[in-house]
Amino acid sequence: MEKEQPFENLFGQVIVKKRLNFYLEAFEATSLCPFLAFIGAKGLGKTEFARQFAHQLHNTDGSRRPFLELNCSTIKNVEQFFEQIFIPLIMDNELTILFDEAHELPKDLTNAFLTVFNTEKVTTKELHWRDGVYPFDFKKQTFMFATTESDKIFPPLKDRLTTIDFEDYSNEDLAKIFAAQCEDIDFSETALRELAKTSRGNARSCVMRGRDVGLYCARKGEKIFSSLDLEPFFDQLGVLPFGLTATEMQLLKILRRDGQCSLQMLAAKTGLSRSAIQRDHELYLMRKNLLAIDGKRNITNEGVHLVEEHHKREQATMDAYLAKLDAEDAHRWAEEDKLVDKS
């Protein structure tokens, strides 16, 4: 039986795959794995790669090692962690643990981890807390972390972790994800390429857009999606260029209309918090070269062109709608005139 290849069902992230395969091979030889930190924006596959990595780890008896996934936002303090998680689930057991949303780790637990996760060449550590002694055996237990906000992880803890950085997916990889997600739909190459451009460089958006494509094809009654379907699909679902959100288009329109703005002014004009603008929108606009920040926020030439083209499309849609209304009104008036003549 041919040996299962790790991550073969996952697209892209070539460097991530190489590094994780290296650590898998090292684990087979040593039963040890560094403390891995999966770092990257939302939707880049951090959690799925961590799950599949854990799936490849085996215990000393050859059995597959159990996997425990913890969302750090549910851990309130160090006491809860040891009493409800570590003692009943981790201590003395062979398993792999993933701390997802690691930037949400409570401060007191982070401080406790500093004495455990370090660069010393030892395979066991003991954590003394209150009246108890808690053993960590790194040949039995593999600890991993994942986060979208690595800057919020306490720096001394972050320094003890081996970072695995995730990059945006290329349009080619996103097209492959689309095709795999909608394997029963026949796509044209142009359609796949244009759909990929709206997926914001991440697999999660791609999967969600793929579901919409499936619904669109079911609605029209055929499993074919060609370049001719792009305009009605984008129009019906309000898909904007580059997959921009309505809020991001609003930000660009404000900057096009009013010129450069401070972050505080943009927050006042949109009703959004400054942190929401920075975290959820500005980074993507900058990656697409639509926004520049030099003290204040400025729209780029590419951003101006995008807003103007979007305005033209909106105007054309409105003109077509008004023309349809005029035609319907003219028809209704004609019918009313006929009734008047008959009377």
Q: Give the domain CATH number at 183.
A: 1.10.8.60
Task: Classify 223 as helix, strand or coil.
Answer: coil
Alpha-carbon span 254 to 247, nearest angstrom: 11
Sign, CA dihedral 292-294-297-300, equals negative
Whether residue 8 lies inside any domain: the answer is: no
- Going by C-alpha positions, the residue among 247, 239, 249 that lies closest to residue 208 is 239
Per residue of the chain (343 residues), what is the pLDDT tens digit?
Answer: 455 678 988 999 999 999 999 999 999 999 899 999 999 998 999 999 999 999 999 887 888 899 999 999 999 999 999 999 999 999 989 999 999 999 999 999 999 898 888 766 778 888 887 778 888 988 899 999 999 999 999 999 999 999 999 999 999 999 999 999 899 999 999 999 999 999 999 999 999 999 999 999 999 999 999 999 999 999 999 999 999 999 999 999 999 999 999 999 999 999 999 999 998 899 999 999 999 999 899 999 999 999 999 988 888 877 777 777 666 665 666 565 555 555 4
Residues 230 and 90 both lie in one domain: no
What is the DSSP secondary structure assignment for residue 200, as one 8-state letter? T
What whole-number distance in Å separates Cα of residue 24 and Cα of residue 284? 33
Question: Distances in Å between the alpha carbon of 218 and those of 182, 188, 222?
Answer: 12, 17, 6
In tens, the pLDDT along 158-203 reads 999 999 999 999 999 999 999 998 999 999 999 999 999 999 999 9
Residue 7 lies in a domain: no
The H or E element spanning position 36 is strand 36-39
How does 137-155 read in b/e, with b if 16+ C-beta sit within 10 Å? Answer: ebebbbbbbbbbebeebbe
Q: What are phi and psi of 288, to 5 degrees?
A: -90, 10
The total of structural domains in the chain comes to 3
- This prediction's pTM: 0.83
**The dihedral sign for the CA sequence 294, 296, 300, 306:** positive
Task: Report yes or no on 224 lying in a domain.
Answer: yes
Same domain, 27 and 107: yes
Contacts of 174 (CB under 8 A, 6+ apart): 195, 196, 199, 201, 203, 206
45-85 pLDDT tens trace: 999 999 999 999 988 788 889 999 999 999 999 999 999 99
Same domain for 126 and 110?
Answer: yes
Whether 52 and 144 share a structural domain: yes
126 vs 271: CA distance, rounded Å: 50
- Domain end residue (candidates: 165, 182, 210): 165
- What range defines the domain where residue 184 resides? 171-239
Residue 19 sits in the same domain as residue 109: yes
Residue carrying structure tokens 């349809």:
324
Residue from 136, 118, 139 nearest 126 by CA: 136
- On whether both 128 and 143 belong to a single domain, the answer is yes
> Where a domain ends, among 221, 239, 257?
239
> Any idea what the CATH number is for the domain that residue 281 is in?
1.10.10.10
Q: Is residue 1 part of a domain?
A: no
Amino acid at site 143: F
Cα-flanking dihedrals φ and ψ of residue 132, to 5°? -110, 160
Residues 220 and 198 in one domain: yes
